[in-house]
A and B are shown apart, each in its own frame.
Chain A
Amino acid sequence: MSVLSGLRHAVTSLTRRRGQAIAFGVLFRKFRSILERNNRILELMADMGDKLGGDYVFDRQYIHAACEDLGELVFKLVSDLSVLTRRRNDELFAAVTRIQHDIGEELAGRHAFPEVGLTLALPAVSSDLSEGAGNKMAVIGDVRNILGLAAPDGFVVSGKAFLCFMAQGGLPEVVSRWLAGFDGHDQDYLERMAADVGDRILAAELPRPLSGHIQASLDILANRHKPGRLRFAVRSSAWGEDSESSFAGQYATVLNVAPDEVFAAYKEVLASAYSAQAWRYRLDRGYREHEMIMAVGVQLMVEAEASGGLYTMAPVGGEREVMVVNAAWGLGGPVVDGTGEADTFVLSRSAPYAVTSSEIAHKTRALAPGPSSGTELVPVPLELRDAPSLTLSQLERLAQAAMTLERYYKRPQDVEWSIAKDGTLYILQSRPLNLRSRLPGHAACPETATRGAEVVFAGKGQVAQRGVAVGKVFVVASDADLERFPSGAILVSHCTSPRFAKVMREAQGIITDVGSVTGHMATIAREYRVPCVVNSGLASGLLKTGDEITLDATLNAVYRGTLPELSRFELTEVEVFEDAYEYRLLRRVLKRVTPLALVDPQAENFRPASCRTYHDLTRYIHEKAVEELIDLSRKGNAYHGATPRRLATGLPLGLVMIDVDGGLAPGEGEAAMDDVRSVPMRAFIEGLTASNMWSTEPVSVDLKSFMSSFTRPFAAAGRPDTVGRNLAVISRAYANLNLRLGYHFSTIDAFISETVNDNSIYFRFLGGVTDLARRSRRARCIARILEESDFRVEVRGDLVVGRVKKLPMDLMIAKMRLLGGLAGYTRQLDVHMGCDADIKRHADAFMCGIAPVMEENREHHA
């Protein structure tokens, strides 16, 4: 990609003119190369992020190739900086190497990260940690930390702790010896083997570091919960448990455990993995011995009023689309294992989840925590025996939570839950229901489902998150609408907004007219796995609140009416894309690539050692490159003919210009406006000053309100010499500008001459430090302004890139003036972006203010 086409002109004319100036030419070329690589890195990162949406088919080879390209680009970026600064930049090379190594390990299937400890606090657990935390507890992490549902507080004794425990007792060797003599069938042998291994586990001591970690985690929990009498539930969370093979009932759960009994309960759960029955189960399903990793969850006991199980989709009679809840008083064990009497409620699968039938059992006994530990069956008070164990509103809440889980995991769920005495609904466990085996003969036949259905639109816009949503449309036009958003509806909106995060847990699907797959809203939709199509161009015009539709965000089509067959097909797919190894791999890799921590050059952490991702490195190097070029040129004599001169303006712009060829009138010291002969540079300055966009004086009534903030001096003016770290390298026809205004960062590269075909402007804007919503609005506001002015625009989150090429000189000059105005205007713009309506208001106000400036004084350049 040759974004910066002016380079050739600038450098060749420079070297032709003055041999001794080559040194600067070489350094400037390095600087340009840094800018170009910087752009490519940002684009490649955005491309990789796109792939998570589900629109693309990609494979492992792609992930490897993209990581390799990216690593190489970043490495070269550091090399370029080293040439530019003539320093070794050991710390930067170390940071690149570290990140490359971690990504390489991840690609090779060795988990360099996350670094899993012996115990993991629940707030830090999610699906991404499923290998350290085991499947069951990883889900509990999602439930609490992503889906915002309640799960009992606690921690996980990790898979690593399991390996450590087993190794200390020499148990892997014992298991190997036994297995060596096992023919795979002999039941007697299996039972003797299981008994021996189980006994050894129960007899073993916990390794000291492990017992220390568990004790510390218990103490932290006790502190958090003002201990009176803490009791715990200790649950198995093995690899593969609650996944495609459910292992339901194979491993132990120990309830109502006193703090001093936790170690014993831990060993009991571990030993249950080696019961003859569990071992047989694994053998029958082809699990290898080394895949036997048992993490263990330790959670606070819920003081349960009622508990039970729920299937989000179950076959009942002729109806196929129902949810079934089983419930009883007290703890849920007897309900789940089917030994106790339980109420049965059948609910509709769509909001408001009406109860279609209920069967209230005669419940004589309930499971309750024992006086000191363990559990016991106690009689149910007479007046409660025939009363329903759940109220209608509790059922609705339960159904809503369960559907949130189904939407997220893209599979019908089997959920275990408890309602505490204080009314809190706790999710204890959620695992996929295998519908293929449960609904034989009900294999979905999708093309008959869509046959005859009215297609509202198809193939419009892009898929930001795949999946199928069936439900009622709710059109969102304002923030107030979000407050009224009904659970289970499909959100339809003209624009995208990160504010949709608020309703992401309730939304069945999202369709917008505008927006991009790499925007903030799309990222959030992916986080919650809400099927989402953006940039459809027309959805809000065709759909109105209350319309029943089916959104197929996998093949990108919207049908009128509900097509349950389609959603059933999706729910019974062999493998969920989000559960595919490649998806998880790309996600893990991107954690080393895209998050940006280094946003403020004045902040303490703005140094190489703090760079955790490629994005951090890229940002750091860009900043340093600009500083270096300014410092270089300040040193003066070393670069004949390229002495930097400060531009004298009334604004606190602090702009230093390095003239490589006829960009300034001859002279020394500060340069006045009239000294600027560089065509693009002059147009930029005129736009900036003439438009009053940075002025303290009100331009018009409309502009007054937001102009007030521009009177503030540099937001980041920590040290005096950092004010005006703004740089322009210019020649008669060329300008390369690097501007840091407030916390925003803009790059402009422009070549403007009489030769129309050589003319080009590249503009890049990268965001500041306010919240996501404001940042995204500001990006959209800038994009809107650029689009209205015929730039080719790409928006990716905070990043806005605008390009315009091959226009006649006068039009190119007008564009540069626009960018000058924009640079001043956007300095603090995000502060004023309180709501989505501000985008258009500010864009319109700006266009109105800049229009005369774009036209005036053209004779200057004639």
Chain B
Amino acid sequence: MNTTPEAQAGKRPRILILDDEPIVCKRLKPAFQKAGFTVETFVDSASALARVKEAPFDIVITDLKMEGLDGLAFLAKVKELRPEAGVIVITGFATLETARESFRKGAFDFVAKPFKLKDIMDIVARLLAGREAS
């Protein structure tokens, strides 16, 4: 999962990506690795949640519509376990309703799929910059 050298892991921001479509993980992982992140990806919410319980993440990117624990519930759990983590919601079924609900549960941003790689990288950069400032 984590293919980056352990030695550098301390300095790198840690990011967890959860999407039940493997293609999303496959596309995002190398992009974030390239930008200097330690990336872990999951295609089911149960194992993603187990991992969040184990280890802290700076950023969590999650899909909404999934089998089992859905994205909104996962978002709530993450915020409960790791209030400091910035959560970005990505979904192919974007509605005003789900967007509002995501923000209410503490999401940093809400992105409709398909999105440009650059857009999500910008959002993550914004999230990290905001954190450093505060």
B3 at the interface (CB under 8 A from A): yes
* A451 to chain B: closest residue by CB: B36
A541 at the interface (CB under 8 A from B): no
Q: List 10 A-B contacts (CB under 8 A).
A: A55-B116, A55-B117, A55-B118, A62-B92, A65-B92, A555-B31, A574-B26, A574-B30, A577-B27, A582-B21
Q: Would A554 and B115 count as touching, CB distance under 8 A?
A: no
- Kindly list the 5 A-B residue pairs having the minimum CB-CB distance in the complex, ordered from nearest: A58-B114, A447-B36, A59-B21, A446-B34, A61-B92
Within 8 A of A (CB), among B27-49: 27-31, 33-36
Report A-chain residues with C-beta under 8 Å of the C-beta of B21: 59-61, 582
Report A-chain residues with C-beta under 8 Å of the C-beta of B5: 443, 445
Measured between C-beta atoms, what is the minimum distance from B87 to chain A in Å?
Answer: 18
Q: A57-B115, A447-B36 are in contact. List 14 more A-B contacts (CB 8 A).
A: A55-B118, A56-B117, A57-B24, A57-B28, A58-B113, A60-B23, A446-B33, A554-B34, A555-B34, A556-B118, A566-B34, A573-B30, A580-B23, A582-B21
Q: How far is the CA of A249 from the CA of B32 in the complex (A)?
A: 37
B19 at the interface (CB under 8 A from A): yes
Report A-chain residues with C-beta under 8 Å of the C-beta of B24: 57, 59
Q: Would A59 and B30 count as touching, CB distance under 8 A?
A: no
Q: Would B26 and A580 count as touching, CB distance under 8 A?
A: yes
Q: Would B31 and A554 count as touching, CB distance under 8 A?
A: yes
Q: Would A57 and B114 count as touching, CB distance under 8 A?
A: yes
Report B-chain residues with C-beta under 8 Å of the C-beta of A443: 3, 5
Which one of B3, B24, B120 has the greatest number of beta carbons of chain A within 10 Å? Answer: B24
Provided the pairs A51-B114, A446-B34, A555-B35 are in contact, do residues A57 and B27 lie with their beta carbons within 8 angstroms? yes
A459 at the interface (CB under 8 A from B): yes
Q: State the A residues within 8 Å of B (CB).
A: 51, 55-62, 65, 443, 445-447, 459, 554-556, 566, 569, 573-575, 577, 580-582
Q: Of B23, B33, B34, which one neighbours A59 at CB under 8 angstroms?
A: B23
Q: Of A55, A65, A556, A575, which one neighbours B26 at CB under 8 angstroms?
A: A575
* B33 to chain A: closest residue by CB: A446
Provided the pairs A569-B30, A574-B30, A575-B26 are in contact, do residues A59 and B36 lie with their beta carbons within 8 angstroms? no
Report B-chain residues with C-beta under 8 Å of the C-beta of A459: 118
Q: How far is the CA of A569 from the CA of B26 in the complex (A)?
A: 14
Q: Of B3, B34, B36, B120, which one neighbours A57 at CB under 8 angstroms?
A: B120
**Per-residue CB proximity of B94-134 to A under 8 Å, as 1/0?**
00000000000000000001111110110000000000000
Measured between C-beta atoms, what is the minimum distance from B128 to chain A in Å?
Answer: 14
Report A-chain residues with C-beta under 8 Å of the C-beta of B28: 57
Measured between C-beta atoms, what is the minimum distance from A591 to chain B in Å?
Answer: 20
Report B-chain residues with C-beta under 8 Å of the C-beta of A577: 27
* B19 to chain A: closest residue by CB: A59
Measured between C-beta atoms, what is the minimum distance from A226 to chain B in Å?
Answer: 49
Q: How far is the CA of A61 from the CA of B90 in the complex (A)?
A: 13
Report A-chain residues with C-beta under 8 Å of the C-beta of B121: 555
Measured between C-beta atoms, what is the minimum distance from A110 to chain B in Å?
Answer: 20
Q: How far is the CA of A307 from the CA of B42 in the complex (A)?
A: 46
Q: Of A57, A59, A60, A566, which one neighbours B117 at CB under 8 angstroms?
A: A57
Measured between C-beta atoms, what is the minimum distance from A57 to chain B in Å?
Answer: 5
Q: How far is the CA of A855 from the CA of B55 in the complex (A)?
A: 71
Q: How far is the CA of A99 from the CA of B19 in the complex (A)?
A: 31
Measured between C-beta atoms, what is the minimum distance from B81 to chain A in Å?
Answer: 26
Q: State the B residues within 8 Å of A (CB).
A: 3-5, 19, 21, 23-24, 26-31, 33-36, 92, 113-118, 120-121
Q: Would B34 and A447 count as touching, CB distance under 8 A?
A: yes
Which one of B36, B115, B118, B121 has the greatest number of beta carbons of chain A within 10 Å? Answer: B118
Report A-chain residues with C-beta under 8 Å of the C-beta of B114: 51, 56-59, 62
* B117 to chain A: closest residue by CB: A57
Which one of A59, A443, A445 has the greatest number of beta carbons of chain B within 10 Å? Answer: A59
Q: How far is the CA of A443 from the CA of B34 in the complex (A)?
A: 12
Measured between C-beta atoms, what is the minimum distance from B119 to chain A in Å?
Answer: 9
Q: Would A555 and B117 count as touching, CB distance under 8 A?
A: yes
Provided the pairs A447-B34, A577-B27 are in contact, do residues A59 and B92 lie with their beta carbons within 8 angstroms? yes
Report B-chain residues with C-beta under 8 Å of the C-beta of A62: 92, 113-114
Report A-chain residues with C-beta under 8 Å of the C-beta of B19: 59
Measured between C-beta atoms, what is the minimum distance from A460 to chain B in Å?
Answer: 11
Q: Would B30 and A61 count as touching, CB distance under 8 A?
A: no
Q: Would A57 and B113 count as touching, CB distance under 8 A?
A: yes
Measured between C-beta atoms, what is the minimum distance from A261 to chain B in Å?
Answer: 45
Q: How far is the CA of A55 from the CA of B21 in the complex (A)?
A: 18
Q: How far is the CA of A574 from the CA of B120 in the complex (A)?
A: 21
Measured between C-beta atoms, what is the minimum distance from B92 to chain A in Å?
Answer: 4
Report B-chain residues with C-beta under 8 Å of the C-beta of A556: 118
Measured between C-beta atoms, what is the minimum distance from A743 to chain B in Å?
Answer: 34
Q: Of B30, B34, B115, which one neighbours A56 at CB under 8 angstroms?
A: B115
Q: How far is the CA of A62 from the CA of B27 in the complex (A)?
A: 15
Measured between C-beta atoms, what is the minimum distance from A159 to chain B in Å?
Answer: 25
Q: How far is the CA of A580 from the CA of B117 in the complex (A)?
A: 16
Q: How far is the CA of A445 from the CA of B36 in the complex (A)?
A: 9
Measured between C-beta atoms, what is the minimum distance from A786 to chain B in Å?
Answer: 26
Q: How far is the CA of A443 from the CA of B2 in the complex (A)?
A: 12
Report B-chain residues with C-beta under 8 Å of the C-beta of A580: 23, 26
Measured between C-beta atoms, what is the minimum distance from B11 to chain A in Å?
Answer: 10
Measured between C-beta atoms, what is the minimum distance from B59 to chain A in Å?
Answer: 16
Report B-chain residues with C-beta under 8 Å of the C-beta of A51: 114
Q: How far is the CA of A569 from the CA of B35 in the complex (A)?
A: 12
Q: How far is the CA of A42 from the CA of B117 in the complex (A)?
A: 25
Q: How far is the CA of A446 from the CA of B37 in the complex (A)?
A: 10
Report A-chain residues with C-beta under 8 Å of the C-beta of B30: 554, 569, 573-574
Provided the pairs A447-B34, A555-B34, A555-B121 are in contact, do residues A56 and B26 lie with their beta carbons within 8 angstroms? no
Measured between C-beta atoms, what is the minimum distance from A571 to chain B in Å?
Answer: 11
* B29 to chain A: closest residue by CB: A574
Q: How far is the CA of A845 from the CA of B54 in the complex (A)?
A: 70
Report B-chain residues with C-beta under 8 Å of the C-beta of A446: 33-34
Q: How far is the CA of A554 from the CA of B35 in the complex (A)?
A: 11
Measured between C-beta atoms, what is the minimum distance from B105 to chain A in Å?
Answer: 22
* A459 to chain B: closest residue by CB: B118
* B36 to chain A: closest residue by CB: A447
Q: How far is the CA of A58 from the CA of B23 in the complex (A)?
A: 8
Which one of A55, A57, A59, A580 has the greatest number of beta carbons of chain B within 10 Å? Answer: A57
Report A-chain residues with C-beta under 8 Å of the C-beta of B117: 55-57, 554-555
* B12 to chain A: closest residue by CB: A447
Measured between C-beta atoms, what is the minimum distance from A718 to chain B in Å?
Answer: 44
Q: How far is the CA of A81 from the CA of B28 in the complex (A)?
A: 44
Q: How far is the CA of A57 from the CA of B30 in the complex (A)?
A: 12
Q: Would B33 and A56 count as touching, CB distance under 8 A?
A: no
* B120 to chain A: closest residue by CB: A57
Measured between C-beta atoms, what is the minimum distance from B89 to chain A in Å?
Answer: 14
Q: How far is the CA of A443 from the CA of B26 in the complex (A)?
A: 17
Q: How far is the CA of A51 from the CA of B31 in the complex (A)?
A: 17
* A576 to chain B: closest residue by CB: B26
* A458 to chain B: closest residue by CB: B118
Q: How far is the CA of A51 from the CA of B117 in the complex (A)?
A: 11
Measured between C-beta atoms, what is the minimum distance from B73 to chain A in Å?
Answer: 19
Q: How far is the CA of A65 from the CA of B92 in the complex (A)?
A: 9
